[in-house]
Amino acid sequence: MKHTIIIAQRVLAQLKGDRRFLALSIVGPLIIIYFLKLLLDTFPPMVNVKSFTIPFCAFIVHFLSFILCAILLVQERTRGTLERMMIGGFSKTSIIGGYSLGYFGLATVQVIAVLSESIWLFKLSYDIQTVALMFMVIWLLAIVSVMLGIFISTFAKQEAHVLPFIPIIILPSVFLTGLIIPPGGLPVWAQILGKCLPLHYAVNIINEIIKAEYSVSAILVDFGILTGYIFVLLVLASLTLKETE
């Protein structure tokens, strides 16, 4: 556990030292949400644009957390620091744990910033319980994205190798998870594929909790599946992160 905390502290200190990265992680999503506002303002009045806002926030956090974490971990490999950490006495588990813990901090700031801006910009009026649930679901999705980033990074030898995973993993989320339209009208195979993507469960929860009346039991299963993703990806990342060539 001590090693996990040492790595998490190092990740946070590194993020603090890399201002461009920090700007991309925090300011980037805020700008994208502003662009979303500009786009949604062009929609005819009969379209309930508010229903798109929070799911899109979740998607932006999901995408950025995944890509930034994967690239940073690939950088560790290409620069030789990952190998040095392992030979220097850090275990695989502490490296994955430390990275996740470090990113939890960043994800927390990201989610707070994105949610606050959306509520203010789109003049959303949700009670505190709903906002807290929104925070929790996007935060969980950010952690899933970090785990996914760690897992995917094991298949990339250079930063550029991460890019092909964007159309494979992230872009299908836009079309198949209910982010734009409910997936019920899609072919069955596409619905099944959509259910394999973590964003599906986050969007399900958000769409449920923004209803005037929602039942907690309806979202519990989706919360459970989202949490399950964290553990499955943690195990996969541990199995695929290689200590030896």
Partner 1 sequence: MNAIEIVGLSKTYGKIVALNNMSLVVPEGTIYGLVGPNGSGKTTLIKALVGSLRPNSGYVQVLGLDPLKDKWQLRKQIGYMPQSPALYDDLSARDNILFFGKAQNVPDLHRKVDEILLFAELTPRANDLVRTFSGGMKKRVSLCCTLIHNPRIIFLDEPTAAVDPNLKMQSWILFRKLAQNGVTIFVSTHQMDEVLLCDRVTILRNGEILAVDTPQNILKLGKSRLKISVNDEERTAVIDSNPNDLASELQKFGLDKNITSVELQSDNIEDIILSIVHEKEKEGRS
Using CB under 8 A, list all residues that contact partner 1.
3, 6, 10, 13-15, 17-18, 79-81, 83-90, 243-245
User: Which residue, 154 or 191, is less far from partner 1 as judged by CB?
Assistant: 154
Closest distance to partner 1 from the beta carbon of 93 (Å): 12
CB of 35 to partner 1, least distance (A): 29
CB of 7 to partner 1, least distance (A): 8
Q: Which is nearer to partner 1, 4 or 65 (CB)?
A: 4
Cα 5 to Cα 11: distance, rounded to the nearest angstrom? 10
Q: How far is the CB of 79 from partner 1 (least distance, A)?
A: 6
Q: For partner 1, which is the closer residue by CB, 23 or 243?
A: 243
Which residue, 83 or 159, is less far from partner 1 as judged by CB? 83
Helix H, strand E, coil C: the string for the chain is: CHHHHHHHHHHHHHHHHCHHHHHHHHHHHHHHHHHHHHHHCCCCCCCCCHHHHHHHHHHHHHHHHHHHHHHHHHHHHHHCHHHHHHHCCCCHHHHHHHHHHHHHHHHHHHHHHHHHHHHHHCCCCCCHHHHHHHHHHHHHHHHHHHHHHHHHHCCCCCHHHHCCHHHHHHHHHHHHCCCCCCHHHCCHHHHHHHHCCHHHHHHHHHHHHCCCCCCHHHHHHHHHHHHHHHHHHHHHHHHHCCCCC
Instruction: Report in angstroms how near the CB of residue 9 gets to partner 1 at its nearest.
Output: 9
**Which residue, 48 or 158, is less far from partner 1 as judged by CB?**
158
The length of the chain is 245
CA dist 60 and 170 (Å) reads: 10
Compare residues 73 and 85 and give the one whose CB is closer to partner 1. Answer: 85
State the minimum distance, in angstroms, from the CB of residue 106 to partner 1: 14
User: In angstroms, rounded to a whole number, what is the distance separating the alpha carbons of residues 186 and 173?
Assistant: 13
Nearer CB in complex with partner 1: 68/176: 68
The distance of closest approach from Cβ of residue 6 to partner 1 in the complex, given in angstroms and rounded to an integer, is 5
